[in-house]
Chain A
Amino acid sequence: MRAVILSVLLVLAAPVLQVTVVNGWSLPGGVPDIVLICVIALAPTLWSFTGSYTGSRTGAGAGALLGFAAGLAADVAPPADHTIGRLALVLCLAGWVSTRIPADDGAGRRVAGAAVVALCASFAGGVLAALLDGTPWAAALAPGAIAWTTGGAALVTAGLALLPRRRSFGRVPASRPWYARGGRRA
């Protein structure tokens, strides 16, 4: 349960981080979408956690719900001035697809999957922005921003995939969640 609450809190705090810190960075080409990275990286862990208790179908729903909540938060967090529901739709689908990546795959496959989902979601989000809100295409589909987001999603997923392995070297109480027991669902 702790993992679920932590994921939801992280994802709801992500728009604040995005708006106050990340959008102020002057990176070449644009800035990464922290909210999207959070959803893509956290949705698979959510699936594995709830899935181990309730079966995989509810788990997929939890990922979609996580994405929907994050997207809606990003849609209404102040400087946003676009159609409400735009990010909720994209992130809901991204969260749902992310949960389809099996968590007991190898780390390499999970990272590749996250990168592909991030790339597609950024692209879809840009197309929706241009169609719904009249954002100029060059700004909506800035290659730099998409590259940062894709790279960020791969990096964070890799970090989460490697973290449990390091933990598993120590003693692992049976009460620990699945990922502390060697990265495999029990």
Chain B
Amino acid sequence: MPVLLALAAAALIAADTVTPLDPLRAFGSAVYGGLEDAASAGVRWASGAGRLEDLERENARLRAELLAVRRATPSPAEGNGYQVVSAHAVGFGRDGTVTIDAGSGAGVAPDMTVFDGDGLVGRVLRTGPGTATVQLATASGASVGARLEGSREVGLVTGVPEHGLLRLGLLNPSADVKPGDRVVTLGSRDLRPFVPDVPIGTVITVEPAPDALTRTALVRPFARFTALENVTVVLGPLPDTGPDTQAVTDPAAETPTTQQQPDKKPEKKSKKKKKKKKDSSGHAEGA
């Protein structure tokens, strides 16, 4: 019996290494996510924080607005703000991950930006029905596109997990970087996995490497990863009501008319294609 079980465990390891056992993880998220959520909610309720939920939600929205306003290069195509959801960190893992109590039920999906009042927290790794797993920026496998806030130099931030610090590698080896410089996210296309200009941390030491291909520096993150409480998840851009974005109507609204008038179908399709092209080129300019 013990030998059989040990073999079963070894088989699981082998299977998960070859093809990730995602159904098993989804099951774990569903069952243990709910339990963790309940346990954490119980602890919070016991400490009298239950009435703060509304304020927390409002706070999350305001933080997101602040973040959108802070953006140095406003592009009208991406709307005026972000659609966000607030969450609590309910579980802390040992693999540089945390559980938050907002899942696919709240619209959270993999590769969404997570931040808190101090700065960047990380990105969503996978979701369960009521919870999501977030990979912290300090995790050993994490990397975040970043830039220096002042000089706009571009680089990559990776985790140094044992010290809770981050390492910034700048693409320009002769970049001017000094302790005290602020590092912010570079931002990705379609806002995933990272929205631009979220503060990450400050440079504390610049590593001397004269003949390296990149310039590296150690960065102290703003977010306190060991004491996370309220976090905000960016779901996407706000559905904008401005005249610019209304020109690009969504395809779902168009389908009823095309079904009623089948002879006009080809024309509409070509129009849609044109719009899509415009849209993507606009994104490329913004990025």
Contact = CB atoms under 8 A, between A and B. Distances in A.
Say whether A and B bind each other: yes
Interface in A47-85: 58, 60-61, 63-65, 67-68, 71-73, 75-85
A81 B133 contact: yes
B237 interface: no
Contact of A79 (B5, B16, B17, B133): B133
Contacts of B94: 23
A78 B13 contact: no
Contacts of B25: 76, 84
Interface in B160-208: 161-162
A147 B79 CA distance: 53
B93 A89 contact: no
Majority DSSP secondary structure for residues of B touching A = helix
Contact of A80 (B21, B97, B139): B97
A26 interface: yes
A85 B92 contact: no
Interface size class of B (residues with CB under 8 A): 35 or more
A88 interface: yes
B95 A82 contact: yes
B145 interface: no
Nearest to A128: B13
A133 interface: yes
B9 A88 contact: yes
A75 B24 CA distance: 10
A80 B264 CA distance: 53
Top 8 A-B pairs ranked by shortest CB distance?
Answer: A76-B28, A85-B12, A79-B93, A61-B1, A89-B9, A19-B91, A64-B2, A23-B92
Interface of B: 1-2, 5-6, 8-17, 21, 24-25, 27-29, 32-33, 35-36, 39-40, 43, 90-99, 125, 128, 131, 133-135, 139-141, 161-162, 226-227
Interface of A: 13, 15-17, 19-21, 23-24, 26, 58, 60-61, 63-65, 67-68, 71-73, 75-86, 88-89, 92-93, 96, 132-136, 138-139
